[in-house]
Amino acid sequence: MNHSQAFSPDYATARRRFREAVTRLGWELEAFPIGGVGPNGEELAFDVACSPGGDFANSLVVSGGLHGVEGFFGSAVQLALLDGWANGSKPLPRLNCVLLHGLNPHGFAWLRRFDENNVDPNRNFLLPGELYSGSPAKYPQFNSFLNPERPPSAWEPFTLKALWMIARHGMSAVKQAVAAGQYDFPKGVFYGGAGPSRTNQLLDEHLPRWLKGSREVVHLDFHTGLGRFAECKLLIDYPLTDRQRTRLMDWYGTGSYEDCGPSGISYDARGGFGHWCVSRRFADDYLFACAEFGTYGPIPMFAGVRAENQAHHWGKPNAAGTIRAKKRLRELFSPSSDEWRSRVLKHGIELVDRAVAGLTNDAAKPV
Ligand SMILES: [Zn+2]
C-alpha cells in the first residue's frame, strides 16, 4: 500500500477500512458507538483492535484521532501497519497490541478538532480531584478575539490582529494563554469540558482490560498540526524516568522528543491524555508519547481552528463559509501534499516499528 492509498477520504471510509483490515488479520475488534451520526448518516464509533494471545508482559498501544480531524493521519498509520502485518511484509509483533481508532469520531467525521460537546479531548483528562474550571490568566482577556460570536469572514484581517497580539505579549505567552486549555468558555476554542468525556470514561473502563495486565506499555498517540512541515516531535507531558528517557534516545535519537514547555513547539496543557495514562498507573512502566507531526505555521493553524469554531457555533451548516472553514481545517491538519503524506506515513510507521523492536528485544533480555 502506498502512502496516498493509506489516507482515507472521509471518516466512514477510514472506519470501514480499519475494521476490514483488523478482521483480515483475525484480531479482536470492539466498537463503541457514541450516538449521533456523521454527515452521510453513518454511525459514529470509537473502534478498538487487540491482537489475540501471545506475550502479555508488554503492550504496544497505537492511537489516533483524539483531535478528530487529525484522525486521517492516525488512521493511515494504523491501516498501513495492519496491512503490512497481514501481507507478511513485516513480522507480526510478539507482544500485546492495542489499536485505538477514531478516539473522537464526531470530530473526525465532521472535520472538527473538538468533540460533540465542543470539548478538546486532549484537555479533558484531568486527574481525580482536579476541577473542570479555570482558564489560563490571559484567556478571558483574549476571549473576544479568540471566539467572536459570529460566522467567520473571509475579509477579517486575522493575521494582522494575531501578529499584533504576538508582538505585544510574546509568542510563548500567547501560545500558553490560548492553547493550554480552559474550562470556563464552553463555546470557546481549547475548552476542556465540564467533566470526563465519553472517550475518557470508555478508556478508564476498558484500557486495563485491553492491556491484559502488562507491566510495560509503550503508547504512541498520533497527532498533526504542531511543528515544521512533515517533521515529527514526540511530546511528553509528564516527568520521564531515566529508563524511559534512555529508551526514547536509543529508539528514536537525541532530539526526537520534547518535554512540554512554552519554549518548544508545544505548551503546558492541562488534562492531557499522556499525563492521565501515566498517572492512572495502568502499568508499572507506561511510556506515552504524543507523536506530533507538523503541517503549517502557527498563525494559519490558529486562524483555521478559530474560523471552524466560529462556523460551528454561529454559522449555518450548509453555508459556503462553513464548508470553506471545514475544508480549510482538514487541509491544515491533513495536508493533501503527496510529499507530506509520504514523509509522515513513513516516519509514523518507523516509530511503531522501533517501539516493537525495542519492546521485543527488552522482553528477550533477562530481567
Ligand atoms: Zn492533536
* 157 CA from centroid of ligand 1 (Å): 26
Ligand 1 (single-atom ion) residues, CB below 5 Å: 67, 70, 223
Is residue 307, in this structure, part of any structural domain at all?
Answer: no
Q: How far apart are CA 174 and CA 182, in angstroms?
A: 14
| 64: in domain | yes
Number of domain units in the chain: 1
Model confidence at 288: pLDDT above 80: yes
On whether the CB atoms of residues 158 and 300 are closer than 8 A, the answer is: no
Q: Ligand 1 centroid vs 364 CA: distance in angstroms?
A: 34
Query: How confident is the model at residue 334, as a pLDDT?
Result: 98
Distance, in Å, from the CA atom of 151 to the CA atom of 136, rounded to the nearest integer, reads: 25
Runs of H (alpha helix) within 147-223:
158-169, 171-179, 198-211
Query: Which positions ≥6 away from 334 have C-beta within 8 Å?
Result: 7, 69, 70, 72, 73, 224, 295
- Residues with Cβ < 8 Å from 171, sequence gap 6 or more? 298
Cα–Cα dist 76/262, whole Å: 30
Answer yes or no: is pLDDT of 261 > 70. no
Reported confidence tier of residue 27, pLDDT bands at 50, 70, 90: very high
pLDDT bucket at 264, cuts 50 / 70 / 90: low
In the predicted model, what is the mean pLDDT of the chain? 92
Q: How far is the CA of 30 from the centre of ligand 1 (A)?
A: 24
Does any domain span residue 309?
no
Q: Which residue has the higher pLDDT, 103 or 5?
A: 103
Share above pLDDT 70 across residues of the chain, in percent, rounded to a whole number = 96
Residue 215: its pLDDT value, please? 95
Which helix or strand (DSSP H or E) is residue 30 part of?
A: strand 28-37
CB-based contacts of 180: which residues, under 8 Å, 6+ apart? Answer: 136, 190, 267, 268, 269, 270
Query: Does the pLDDT of residue 367 top 80, yes or no?
Result: no
153, pLDDT greater than 90: no
Spatial distance between the Cα atoms of 248 and 26, rounded to a whole number of angstroms: 31
Three-state DSSP class for 42? coil
CA of 224 to the centre of ligand 1 (A): 6
Is the CB of residue 257 less than 8 Å from the CB of residue 232? no
Q: What pLDDT is attached to residue 156?
A: 80
Assign 191 to helix, strand or coil: strand
pLDDT for the residue 363: 63
Evaluate if residue 267 carries a pLDDT over 90: no
In whole angstroms, what is the distance from residue 334 CA to residue 340 CA?
9
Answer yes or no: is 321 within a domain.
Answer: no
Expressed in angstroms and rounded, the spacing between residue 274 Cα and the centre of ligand 1 is: 12
Give residue 239 CA to ligand 1 midpoint distance, Å: 20
Mean pLDDT throughout 222-246? Answer: 95
> What's the rounded Cα separation, in Å, for the pair 217 and 95?
10
Q: Cα–Cα distance between 248 and 255 in angstroms, integer?
A: 9
In a domain, 164, yes or no: no
Tell me what percent of the residues of the chain surpass a pLDDT of 90: 78
Determine the average pLDDT of the residues in 148-166: 83
pLDDT of 262 > 70? The answer is: no
Render pLDDT for 311-361 as a digit per residue (tens, 0 to 9): 999 999 999 999 999 999 999 999 999 999 999 999 999 999 999 999 998
At residue 193, the pLDDT reads 97
What is the Cα–Cα distance from 15 to 38, expressed in whole angstroms? Answer: 12
| pTM over the 0.85 mark | yes
Q: In angstroms, what is the span from residue 69 Cα to ligand 1's centroid?
A: 9
Q: How confident is the model at residue 235 (pLDDT cuts 50, 70, 90)?
A: very high
SS3 of residue 162 by DSSP? helix
pLDDT at 304 over 90: yes
- Match 495536508 to its residue by C-alpha cell: 335
What does the pLDDT average to over 248-263? Answer: 84
C-alpha 121 to ligand 1 mean position (Å)? 9
> How far, in Å, from the CA of 102 to the mean position of ligand 1?
12
- C-alpha 225 – ligand 1 centre gap (Å): 7
| Nearest CA-CA partner of 238 in 192, 282, 198, 202 | 282
DSSP state at residue 9: S
Domain CATH number, residue 288: 3.40.630.10
Domain that holds residue 282: 3-127+190-299+328-364
Kindly give the distance from the C-alpha atom of residue 115 to the centroid of ligand 1, in angstroms, as a whole number: 12
Q: Which residues pair with 43 in a beta bridge?
A: 37
pLDDT over 60 at 78, yes or no: yes
Backbone angles phi, psi at 56, to 5 degrees: -100, 5
Residue 282's pLDDT band (cuts 50, 70, 90): very high
Rounded to the nearest angstrom, the distance between the alpha carbon of 137 and the centre of ligand 1 is 23
CA 229 to chain centre: 17
Q: Which three cell numbers stand for residue 18?
A: 480499519
User: How far apart are the C-alpha atoms of 217 and 97, rounded to whole Å?
Assistant: 10
Between CA 270 and CA 261 the distance in angstroms is: 12
In a domain? residue 249: yes
CA–CA separation, 28 and 25 (whole Å): 9
The Å distance, Cα 330 to ligand 1 centre, comes to 13
Residue 253 lies in a domain: yes
For residue 150, pLDDT over 80 is answered with yes
Q: Is residue 226 situated within a structural domain?
A: yes
Q: How far is the CA of 70 from the centre of ligand 1 (A)?
A: 6
Cα–Cα distances (Å) from 93 to 51, 53, 210, 214, 360, in that order, read: 9, 11, 16, 15, 8
Per-residue confidence (pLDDT) for residue 287, from 0 to 100: 98
Distance 175 CA to ligand 1 centre (A): 15
- At 167-221, the pLDDT tens digits run 888 888 788 888 888 999 999 999 999 999 999 999 999 999 999 999 999 999 9
